[in-house]
Amino acid sequence: MVVIERENYLQRLRPYYGKSLIKVLTGQRRVGKSYLLHQIKDELLRLVPDSNVIFIDFEKFEFDSITTYKELHAFIKEKSTDKQNILFIDEIQQIEGFEKVLRSLLSDGNYDIYITGSNSAVFSGDMATFLSGRQIEIHIQSLSFCEFLKFNNISASNQTLVRYFKHGGLPYLRNLPNDDEIVFDYLKNIYATILYRDIVSRNQIRDITFLENLNRFLADNTGSIVAANRISEYLKSQKQTKSVSVIITYLEYLTNAYFISKVARQDIKGKRIFETGEKYYFQDLGLRNSIVGYKPSDINKIIENVVYNQLLYQGYKITVGKDGEKEIDFIAEKQGEFSYYQCAYLLADEKVIDREFGNLLAIPDNFPKYVISMDEFSTTTSYKGIKHIKLIDFLQM
């Protein structure tokens, strides 16, 4: 099998190799967390060839007999040696109380621990408190555009960019023909798995029709400001009634499963975060399209979602900017430095140009500002200090 390294994540993990910290890889199902675990294992064995490797994959039948944290601890101890043990546990959230095992192993001092999980609620709250200062979390996304090109052995072009828009970046797609029918059959199956295993089953949801309607609403309104009362009105049109509190809870279930990302709005001048009116983006566009289909008329929503995912991949904390009646698509922050982004399909007329550049020009600071679009031009240009970048170039930065 040809191994394609996901170097961005390996670079972020290497400083923690051998350290007495639990390395937690989180992310949506099928984004390649297991694949990355095996890459880490191979790299560590090259660095420390006499290490004892223990690899537990709770997706495999051979580990079905481990159902409690006590059984997990006993199994690991049985496989351990007195020398350095490198422990990998895939989809650890299936064992309730697993954090007790990890804390005990860390105190033993001869374990280098790497785990993955597909539910953010498991790795926050009580567990984070219990393991306070003992874990480092790295969020794994579906493939970036550059990774998508590398995995599929193709070159960047408008054609491959549209393919990325349509099919998304789940790594396994490289093993399938570039055929819409085959790809979407696969994506619909993955969507059903996430829906039933990671959301319905885990949260004991009974009203599956409501959950599916909620996903359809979010897919149709990708990148739009979403309020729970607006969703409630939509559901009434679908002859369903849900309270605002129930809707908020279901949105949390979806974000906990890393199916969607919730992005808060921020006042540009005062930097305060608004408590209502968030935006939601899909962590994989192919899965979004498996719900409502791929429609060229959704191009602006898709571009905005792609830019959001790329900024996330680059390690930024992201909010949506608000300045009076003006909106900035994204405020990106890293180590106290800010940058601002506006997204558009084409700068087709003066009205669009005035909106995209004008909103950025109104921001009273000197941090970098960008307009990203699919316009055809040869190099990055600028207007009054604001850089205009082609989307295909931005996705390869």
Check residues 164 and 230 and name the one with the higher pLDDT.
164
Give 239's pLDDT tier (boundaries 50, 70, 90).
Answer: confident
Does residue 378 surpass a pLDDT of 70?
no
Check residues 378 and 289 and name the one with the higher pLDDT.
289
Does residue 307 surpass a pLDDT of 80?
yes
Q: What is the pLDDT of residue 268?
A: 85
Lowest mean pLDDT among 55-69, 112-126, 167-181, 379-393: 112-126
Angle at 281 between CA 145 and CA 151, to 5 degrees: 20
pLDDT tens, 250-295?
999 999 999 999 999 998 876 778 777 799 999 999 999 999 999 9
Does residue 379 surpass a pLDDT of 70?
no
> Which residues lie below 8 Å from residue 236, measured CB to CB, with a gap of 6+?
none
Give 11's pLDDT tier (boundaries 50, 70, 90).
Answer: very high
- Looking at residues 331-338, what average pLDDT do you find? 94
- Looking at residues 51-69, what average pLDDT do you find? 95
Does residue 384 surpass a pLDDT of 90?
no
Residue range(s) of every CATH 3.40.50.300 domain in the chain: 7-139
Instruction: Please give the share of the chain, as a percent, with pLDDT higher than 90.
Output: 77
Where does the chain have alpha helices with state H? 7-13, 33-47, 69-79, 98-108, 126-130, 145-152, 158-167, 180-193, 201-203, 208-220, 228-237, 244-256, 285-292, 299-313, 350-361, 391-394
| Cα distances (angstroms) measured from residue 306 to each of 125, 177, 223, 312 | 30, 23, 11, 10
- Looking at residues 29-43, what average pLDDT do you find? 95
Q: Which of 117-126, 268-277, 349-358 has the highest mean pLDDT?
A: 349-358
Q: What is the pLDDT of residue 126?
A: 60
Q: What is the pLDDT of residue 230?
A: 85
Does residue 216 surpass a pLDDT of 90?
yes
The DSSP bridge pattern shows strands 135-139 and 22-26 to be: parallel
Q: What is the pLDDT of residue 113?
A: 97
pLDDT tens, 65-99?
999 999 999 999 999 999 899 999 999 988 999 99
pLDDT tens, 141-198?
999 999 999 999 999 999 999 999 999 999 999 999 999 999 999 999 999 999 999 9
- Alpha-carbon gap, residue 306 to 313, rounded angstroms: 10
- Whole-model pTM above 0.95? no
Residue 99 three-state SS: helix
Does residue 8 surpass a pLDDT of 90?
yes
Phi-psi region of 239 (alpha: psi -120 to 50; beta: other; left: phi over 0): left
Q: What is the pLDDT of residue 229?
A: 86
Superfamily (CATH) of domain 7-139: P-loop containing nucleotide triphosphate hydrolases (3.40.50.300)
Q: What is the pLDDT of residue 1?
A: 53
Q: What is the pLDDT of residue 125?
A: 64
